[in-house]
Amino acid sequence: MNRPILAIAVALSATVVFSSAVVISEFAFVVPGARADTALAKVPLFKFERQAQLHCPEDSIVWATTSFGTYDLSADRWYGRTSSGAYGCLHEVETAGYRAQRVGR
């Protein structure tokens, strides 16, 4: 039942891996729940971690939780696990006003 969706996700990720940085920007999105009146909604976020890595190869990748305006590093408990989040570049996410997740949450 979920196979068509999985096939689409695989096709998209394959396209991203072999594409240029210009094409990757087409996949950037703003997650629903981001506050549109702040800079939080203006940061480029990505559905897949690889897209973020290709967007900023020299920066660390974080999981930005848009509903709270926080981010998690790859070693953190909630990295990639919240429902209202996406991958982004550490420098861009911090510049947009996201703050590091508190330990223990």
The pTM of the whole model exceeds 0.75: no
Tell me, what DSSP letter sits at residue 82?
Answer: -
Backbone angles phi, psi at 90, to 5 degrees: -55, -50
How many C-beta neighbours within 10 Å does residue 72 have?
A: 20
The one-letter code for the residue type at 59 is: D
Task: Place 6 in a pLDDT band, splitting at 50, 70 and 90.
Answer: very low
**Quick check: helix, strand or coil at residue 97?**
coil
The tens digit of pLDDT for each residue in 24-72 reads 344 454 444 555 445 677 899 999 999 999 999 999 999 999 999 999 9
